[in-house]
């Protein structure tokens, strides 16, 4: 029980950290770099920020995948034969969204953000030219757009996860609880309508 709770909290914290990193890039890193006095300072600021952002986002995505897989294994063992019937469809959708999210983040990290710093290193060693201002601006626009896309995907993953949780609830236990409450209510109603109870109440009132 304790281990399962730890996995859940790690999963939630990692997801919150990932979404927070995306908002930080959109509203902190890129706007802060735009206030630099010159292009060299802007690129230096971007490279410094991406040196943290790139490994951090990949690491938290790894934690999300590992903790989610471990928790799913425990859930599968507890549900047994009802596993695919009750959560099979939302699980397929969640896995599809998760893989798309990982793919997009890989593109942001290695296809865009990492290349900015890498090309500056190449130019510094005289092995090529640095990206032009137009190229950097275009890459930043794509990073911002893709970051928003990953936020939407993360929200969709969370929504599908909540659907899975609702379906994973033991329906028979819930039905038994509802039936017990209905029976208790009917029993109280029968007592209230019993003639002996009514006559006794009248005598007490008189």
Task: Decide if 29 contacts 54 (C-beta within 8 A).
Answer: no
- Supply the pLDDT for residue 206: 42
d(C-alpha 109, C-alpha 159), whole Å: 25
Backbone angles phi, psi at 126, to 5 degrees: 75, 20
Beta-carbon contacts of residue 67 (< 8 Å; ≥ 6 apart): 7, 8, 10, 11, 14
- Supply the pLDDT for residue 186: 52
d(C-alpha 184, C-alpha 27), whole Å: 56
- Supply the pLDDT for residue 184: 58
Task: Decide if 105 contacts 150 (C-beta within 8 A).
Answer: yes
- Supply the pLDDT for residue 87: 79
Per-residue model confidence as pLDDT tens for the chain (206 residues): 567 788 889 999 999 999 999 999 999 999 999 999 999 999 999 999 999 999 999 999 999 999 988 888 777 777 777 777 777 788 889 999 999 999 999 999 999 999 999 998 888 888 888 899 999 999 999 999 999 999 999 999 999 988 887 776 654 444 444 445 555 555 555 555 455 544 543 443 34
Apex 83 CA angle, 151 and 100, nearest 5: 25
Neighbouring CB atoms inside 10 A of 127's CB total 9
Domain boundaries, the chain: 2-169, 171-206
Radius of gyration of the chain (CA): 28
- Supply the pLDDT for residue 5: 82
- Supply the pLDDT for residue 205: 36
- Supply the pLDDT for residue 93: 92
Q: Calculate the alpha carbon distances from 71 to 56, 66, 153, 196 in Å.
A: 22, 9, 21, 57
Global pTM value:
0.77
């Amino acid at each position: 029980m304790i281990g399962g709770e730890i996995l859940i909290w790690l999963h939630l914290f990692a997801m919150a950290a990932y979404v927070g990193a995306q908002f930080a890039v959109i509203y902190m890193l890129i706007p802060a770099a735009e206030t630099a006095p010159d292009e060299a300072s802007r690129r230096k600021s971007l490279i410094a920020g991406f040196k943290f952002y790139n490994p951090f986002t990949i690491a938290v995505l790894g934690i999300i995948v590992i903790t989610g897989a471990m928790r799913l294994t425990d859930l599968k063992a507890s549900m047994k034969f009802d596993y695919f019937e009750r959560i099979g469809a939302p699980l397929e959708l969640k896995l599809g969204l998760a893989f798309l999210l990982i793919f997009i983040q890989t593109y942001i990290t290695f296809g865009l953000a990492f290349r900015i710093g890498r090309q500056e290193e190449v130019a510094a060693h005289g092995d090529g030219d640095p990206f032009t201002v137009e190229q950097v601006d275009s890459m930043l626009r794509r990073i911002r757009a893709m970051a928003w896309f990953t936020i939407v995907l993360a929200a969709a993953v969370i929504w599908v996860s909540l659907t899975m949780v609702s379906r994973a609830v033991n329906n028979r236990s819930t039905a038994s609880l509802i039936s017990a409450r209905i029976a208790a209510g009917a029993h109280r109603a029968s007592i209230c309508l019993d003639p002996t109870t009514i006559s006794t109440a009248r005598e007490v009132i008189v």
